[in-house]
Amino acid sequence: MAKNMKQIEYKFILLGDSTVGKSSIFSRFRSNSFSNNSIFTVGIEKMVVNFDNIEIDKNKNIYKNFKITLFDTAGQERYKAITKSYFRDSKGIILIYSINNITTFEHVQIWLDSIKDSLNDWKRSGYAIMLLGNKLDIIENNINERQVLIEEAEQLCKEQGIYWGGECSAKTFDLKQFKEIFEKFIKEIDRKSTRLNSSHDQISY
């Protein structure tokens, strides 16, 4: 079957408070591994992840290859200035909180304000934000550990016009499951990007 195979390159950045699991999700993409003793990220790390043959429109037989450069950032306060300098080029911003830590969820709003301030200044267009709740395994082991309801996260996404990626676990989800979450986000970005004609807008959901 003949396919329209364009390759599109995007930069994605992992953001969120320290210890929410950004590096652990990054490790899933790098080596499909997990460590209970992950160390604080210093500065920025990056890697390329290919998403090939993504079905964009089955009826029109449109498939695309995406080359995503994924950036892992440091959540600690002292690195915020460095991290902010990476928002600028990011097409996709993946904002992460821990389901068992309400403070990390409350701080999502601060991250959003910071992103929106920076991007407005830079007059960029077409970026998208995905919210992910991490450490689902902890809640599956003990329901009392839950500090953030799914409904609260969905509500925040609606209010802020960002994409709800769902709940995940860097510990128990494998690479395939993370690729599926990211693939849906990529497809959303592609779908909305093609419709976006205003030059200063964020992609809303």
* Site residues, ligand GTP (CB under 6 A): 18-24, 35-38, 40-41, 74-76, 134-135, 137-138, 169-171
Residue 26 Cβ, how far from ligand GTP at the closest point, in Å? 7
Eight-class DSSP state of 35 = -
> In terms of CB distance, is 74 or 157 closer to ligand GTP?
74
Contact between 202 and 116 under an 8 Å Cβ cutoff? The reply is: yes
Residue 22 Cβ, how far from ligand GTP at the closest point, in Å? 4
> In terms of CB distance, is 137 or 183 closer to ligand GTP?
137
| Separation of CA 133 from chain center | 10
Residue 111 Cβ, how far from ligand GTP at the closest point, in Å? 12
- How far is Cα 2 from Cα 61, in angstroms, rounded to an integer? 8
Q: Which of 67, 10, 76, 13 is nearest to 45 (CA)?
A: 13
Residue 94 Cβ, how far from ligand GTP at the closest point, in Å? 11
Contact between 167 and 131 under an 8 Å Cβ cutoff? The reply is: no
Contact between 174 and 32 under an 8 Å Cβ cutoff? The reply is: yes
Residue 6 Cβ, how far from ligand GTP at the closest point, in Å? 33
> In terms of CB distance, is 66 or 111 closer to ligand GTP?
111
Q: Which of 39, 106, 121 is nearest to 76 (CA)?
A: 39
> In terms of CB distance, is 40 or 122 closer to ligand GTP?
40
- Using DSSP bridges, classify how beta strands 44-57 and 62-73 pair: parallel, antiparallel or unpaired: antiparallel
Tell me the sheet residues that pair with 167: 133
> In terms of CB distance, is 75 or 92 closer to ligand GTP?
75
